[in-house]
Amino acid sequence: MKKLIALLLLVVLSFSMPVWAVAQYGEQSNGPALYPTSIDGYIENETENTIEVVSQDGQNRVILNITPETYLVDAETGLPLALTNRNGDRIIAYYGPVMTFSEPPQSNAVLILGNIQEGTIPPQFGQVEAIEVSDDQVVVTIRGGSLLVTIRRDSRIEPFRTRNIVTVDNINVGSRLLMWVPMETLSYPGQATAQRTILLNHGPEQASDIEYRGYENGYNGYENGYNDYQPAELYEPYVNGYEPVQPIYEQPIFHMTPVTPQLPDVLRQFETDFYVANNVTMVPLRLVAESLGFTVTWNEADRSVALQYAGGQVSTLVIGQTAFAGSVLETAPIIRNDRTFVPVSFFDVLHNEFNISA
């Protein structure tokens, strides 16, 4: 009788806890994938800390936790992406390696690409698993050995969220890369050449404490994501390869306090787009405002621009007029090369209007 009661209790407990599993991606049969899976689709719901994404064909959906370790990247510019008020936007999200058995499944987002323009090829995300270095280039292996990407020394290589100078010499095993590749061969492994590369991190020094048995360097990069759990607790004992005998116990849901982008940092990102007229520095309105978290809407009828912050109030400026939000701008907004430019001091007025700390 005691054994029966214990068995019933075990069954009840197994149904009462959220169950997490190591997501198996690709067709590997001898171990877990060394790269996260991805979904190309649209944001259907969003909260302060999560987004629900449905695939383009509507067949798959996943809830993704946005953690402090999640990279939010604009696929067009490669700059940080403000992930607010984006219901209905197309994104490509990379997530894993742990996800729930719930419906829809839930996982932590590794990287989210937004602002994907129609007719363009989004950049490839990958973590370097192997690297071959020569005098004028490096060839990196990503996606579980299925893709080799050549990065030439004279190609465009940039850091993410910093102004450091980086080169191919900064790329090593464990580095996380965004690579713009125009085409990929159909061979196995596929081969491609990157026209532009963004180095998201610097590799081994940011490696995760969680390692997968059978791989020397483990799965690199989930720092602080699952640091309460030791490898033995997550993946031992093993049966038939990497199948855990018992479901992995409940993982915490990681929350974050959204960080408001600071105006000086955003302005530095776009300084090559500035120009000076009559001793006034003019800056591109949409690029800067959207990076600060504003929604920018152009109205052709009256040549005005509406700015909305966090789904709240809306303020409007008119091309050619210096009046805005009860203030007088030092010069009027203008259209130049099909873009709206405003004096840099406009953003001080904007922050005061919306009561945002600059």
Domain 16-118+211-244 has CATH 3.20.20.140: no
Which token pair is 290? 């959207």
What are the helix (H) ranges across 2-110? 2-16
Indicate whether 242 pLDDT > 50: no
pLDDT in tens, 177-217: 999 998 888 888 889 999 999 999 844 433 333 233 233 33
Q: Which CATH class is domain 263-354?
A: alpha beta
User: What is the value of pTM for the model shown?
Assistant: 0.50
**pLDDT per residue over 119-169, tens digit each?**
888 999 988 989 999 989 999 998 888 889 999 998 999 988 777 788 899
Kindly list the domain boundaries of the chain, sorted by start residue.
16-118+211-244, 124-204, 263-354
Identical fold between 124-204 and 263-354:
no
Please count the other Cβ atoms lying within 10 Å of the Cβ belonging to residue 18.
13
Beta strands 323-324 and 327-328: pairing type?
antiparallel
Distance CA 264, CA 267 (A): 5
Question: Which residue has better confidence, 101 or 204?
Answer: 101
> What digits encode the pLDDT tens for the residues 224-241?
333 333 343 333 444 444
Counting Cα atoms < 13 Å in the Cβ hemisphere of 302 gives 8
Does residue 17 carry a pLDDT above 70?
A: no
Q: Which CATH superfamily is domain 124-204 in?
A: Nucleic acid-binding proteins (2.40.50.140)
Assigned token pair, 69: 């370790």
